[in-house]
Amino acid sequence: MKCVGILTAGGDSPGLNAAIRAVGKTLVRGGYRLIGFRDGFEGLAFDRTMPLEEATCSGILTVGGTILRTSRNKPNKMPVGGECIDMTGAIVENYRKHQLECLICIGGGGTHKSALLLQKAGLNILTMPKTIDNDVAHTDTTIGFDTALSVATGALDSLHSTASSHKRIMLVQIMGHNTGWLALGSGLAGGADVILIPEIPYRLDKVAQALLQRSREGKLFSIMPIAEGALSREDTARLAALQEKKEQAKNKAEKEAAKREIAAFHSACSTRIFELASQLEERSGRQTRVTILGHLQRGGSPSASDRLLATRLGSECAKAVFRQKYGFMISASGEGTALVPIAEVAGVRKTVPLDHPWIESARKLGVAFGD
C-alpha cells in the first residue's frame, strides 16, 4: 500500500484539522495509507509519527488547532541541544524510511520556503496555503483567514458599545504580520473609522485630523483597527534604512549586527500602539483605550467558509497525489483550485494592493488611512 506523509507547520489556524480530514479520507478511499508527523518539520526530523486512518480523521472537521500539533522550526535551522542544526539529511532519511510517495505540508510563508528546500533535496512535495494573515502568494485566500476575520470583526462590534457609552477612541491591534488583510477586512466589516495597515504608512497628524473632524461632526467616538505591522512614515523610512544597511553589509559580523538592529526596531514597534494612543488622546481630547486581540484570532472552531475551503483544497491535494503531480501548492482560484509551483510561492508575500476594492470602498465611505 502506497504511503503519504502530512504535517502542519508554522502558526496554528482554524481549518487545519478539516484539511487533514479531507486528505486522509480521500487518500484512504483511494487505497493509500497516510501517516502524520507531529510538531511540523521537527516531527519529521525526529520521526514522531501518528497513523491517520479513516477513523482518526472522523470527528475533527469542527475542531480548531491541529491534531498533529505544530512548530515554527525549519529543516535547515532545527534547535538541537542549544544549537541550530541542519536536519535536512535526517528528514530525507525518515522520508525514505517510511517509503513515502509524497509529503504534504500545510502552512504559510515560512512553510513554503521549507517545502521548497525539501523539494530541492529530492523529495516529492505538495503544499496547501494556511495562515490567518492571508499573505500567501498565488491563492485567493488561505485556510484560517475567514475565521480570524470573523473573530476580529466580532471584537470591533463589541467595542462599539463601550466606545459610544464613554465617548472614547478605541485602538484595536489586529494580527496579520506585515500585511493588512485582517485589519482592513475586519475594519471595513466592523464599521471602523480609521484603519492603519502596513501597506499605507501613516502620518500622526493625518490620523489626529481625521479623529478631530469626526468630533466636529458630532461623532463622539471612533473605532480604529491597527495591523500589528502598521508603521508611521518615519518608522517606515527607518526600517528601510536598516534593511539597506543589512544588504550592504560587507561581512558576516556586520550582517549580524544589522539583523540585531532590525530585531530591536521591531521589538520597539511592538509597543508603539500605546504611544500612539497617548498621542491621539492628547491631540483629540478624548479618552483613548487599547485592545490587543492577540491569539484569540487564531483559536476556536473554524467557520463554515474555512471548513469548505480546507475540504476543497484537501481533496484536490489527494487528487494530485493520485496523478503524481508533485512540486505544487494547491491554491484557491475562484470556485475551483489551481496547481501553482512551490518555487513561485516560496519567498513571495501577498500584500494588499493600494487599488484593492476593499480600500476603494473604505475611502468612499470616509474611512481614513492616515495618509
* Active-site residue set: 133
Sheet of strand 288-292, all strands in order from the earlier edge strand to the far edge: 222-227, 169-174, 288-292
Query: Is 246 within 8 Å of 238 (Cβ atoms)?
Result: no
Residues near 150 by Cβ (< 8 Å), separated by ≥ 6? 303
Residue among 51, 50, 130, 37 at smallest CA distance from 90? 37
**Exposure on the CB side of residue 290, measured as CA atoms within 13 A:** 19
> Residues 22, 318: contact at Cβ < 8 Å?
yes
Looking up cell 493588512 gives: 180
Are 12 and 111 in contact, with CB atoms under 8 Å apart?
no
Distance separating alpha carbons of residues 345 and 4, to the nearest angstrom? 22
Give the torsion through C-alpha atoms of 246, 251, 252, 254, to 10 deg. Answer: -50
Other Cβ atoms within 10 Å of 168 Cβ, number: 19
Report how far apart the first and last C-alpha atoms of the chain are (Å, whole number). Answer: 59
Pairing status of strand 100-107 against strand 3-8: parallel
